[in-house]
Amino acid sequence: MQNFSYVNATSIEQVPSLLGRSWDDAVVMAGGTDLVGEMKDYAAVPKRVVNLKSIEGLDYIRQDDAGLRVGALTTLTDVLGHGAVSQDYPVLHQAVSVIASPQIRNMATLAGNILQRPRCWYYRSEDFPCLKKGGARCYAVGGVNTYHAIFGSGPSYIVHPSDAAPALMALGATVNIHGPRGGNEVAMDDFFTMPEMNIRRENILRPNEIVTEIAIPKPEANSRGMFLKVRERESIDFALVSLAAQMTVVNGTCERASLVLGGVAPIPWRAVEAEDYLRGRRITEARAESAAEAAVEDAAPMPHNGYKVQIAKNLVKQAVQALAS
């Protein structure tokens, strides 16, 4: 790891001026579980690291009729332990419960989890100057792409590694961003960006902006949610494919479905075709299967990751049937 200058921020307002115009100038750190790894792998070589943990009052979960507001410094352990999360937001609770390990969940924040950088082995290796690091090519193309994207058309084929992001997106969460011109709120659906739009990053944040809060609307009383995650190892592993599902089913008929896949695309991947197919339909096994087919309609697997298509289908079918029963 290259040394850097470490700055303790004291207020949100101060942060944009402590950050720079480029990601090479300065980055923010909260839990640090992703950033420290990135710096050890020389995927991030910032001149300055701005510590957010020194800011008072950013560690909270506030609950009102509209839903939950989670501060930027709230850890995954605190999200997991919050009564309202387990009671009313099972899709989020289940997602957070399968993130990494107790040690990581004690350190890592919910906001940091959705801002994780790719786990792609080329990105994380010093030996591969890939597109994401300002290089000329994506080494997954023509390389070993077992864990890469089955959706999207490049030019980078990383997958978004977050488990919390699909869950938050399925719940219709919004992200509060603070920058030099103040704060604004952005829907999670508009927060993440595909590589063709922004090859170096996975979301709309500029180098001098930070996420200050995640707001999660309370699900409709008659809707239900669940999170499914398939991984190679049953603990402390990233998803091969995950699915966050939130559905409103009345008398066996789906009124609304929110289905977001993880581990399959450079961003959390909303299965729009499956959602559209399910709306207004009575759920049967055959229709759950059709929804699963619709979810992977646009999949374009690479030579080594075709297995992800079948996993994605299985998860959609399983969740749709479970939430309709």
Partner 1 sequence: MADRHDEARPDESSHSETKSGTTKSGTRFTRRGFLKGAGAGAVTAAVAPAILVSEAGTAAAQEAEGVMSATITLDVNGRAHNVEVEARTTLADALRDRLEITGPKVVCDRGECGACTVEMDGKLVFSCMTLAMDAQGRKIETVEGMADGDNLHPIQEAFVEKDALMCGFCTPGFLMSSKSLLDANDNPTPDEVREGLSGNICRCGTYPHVFEAVMSAAEKMRKGG
Binding site for partner 1 (CB under 8 A): 1-8, 17-18, 32-33, 36-37, 39-40, 42, 45, 48-51, 53, 77, 100-104, 106-107, 126, 129, 133, 235-236
User: Nearest distance from residue 76's CB to partner 1, in Å?
Assistant: 12
Instruction: Give the contacts of 105 (CB within 8 A, at least 6 positions apart).
Output: 75, 76, 77, 80, 96, 99
User: Nearest distance from residue 164's CB to partner 1, in Å?
Assistant: 17
User: Nearest distance from residue 135's CB to partner 1, in Å?
Assistant: 9
Comparing CB distances to partner 1, the nearer of 19 and 267 is 19
Comparing CB distances to partner 1, the nearer of 5 and 153 is 5
Comparing CB distances to partner 1, the nearer of 237 and 298 is 237
User: Nearest distance from residue 152's CB to partner 1, in Å?
Assistant: 26
User: Nearest distance from residue 250's CB to partner 1, in Å?
Assistant: 35
User: Nearest distance from residue 88's CB to partner 1, in Å?
Assistant: 23
Comparing CB distances to partner 1, the nearer of 33 and 176 is 33
Instruction: Give the contacts of 216 (CB within 8 A, at least 6 positions apart).
Output: 67, 68, 69, 70, 89, 92, 168, 171, 172, 173
Comparing CB distances to partner 1, the nearer of 40 and 200 is 40
Instruction: Give the contacts of 47 (CB within 8 A, at least 6 positions apart).
Output: 4, 5, 20, 24, 25, 26
Q: Are strands 67-71 and 210-217 parallel, antiparallel or unpaired?
A: antiparallel
User: Nearest distance from residue 106's CB to partner 1, in Å?
Assistant: 4
CA-nearest of 276, 271, 221, 228 to 254 is 276
Comparing CB distances to partner 1, the nearer of 26 and 175 is 26
Side chain identity at residue 75, one-letter code: T
CA-nearest of 215, 188, 220 to 204 is 188
Rounded CA separation 280/252 (Å): 10
Is 282 in contact with 253 (CB distance < 8 Å)? yes
Report the DSSP beta bridge partners of residue 217.
67
Report the DSSP beta bridge partners of residue 248.
223, 256
Comparing CB distances to partner 1, the nearer of 43 and 171 is 43
CA-nearest of 288, 242, 240, 274 to 261 is 242
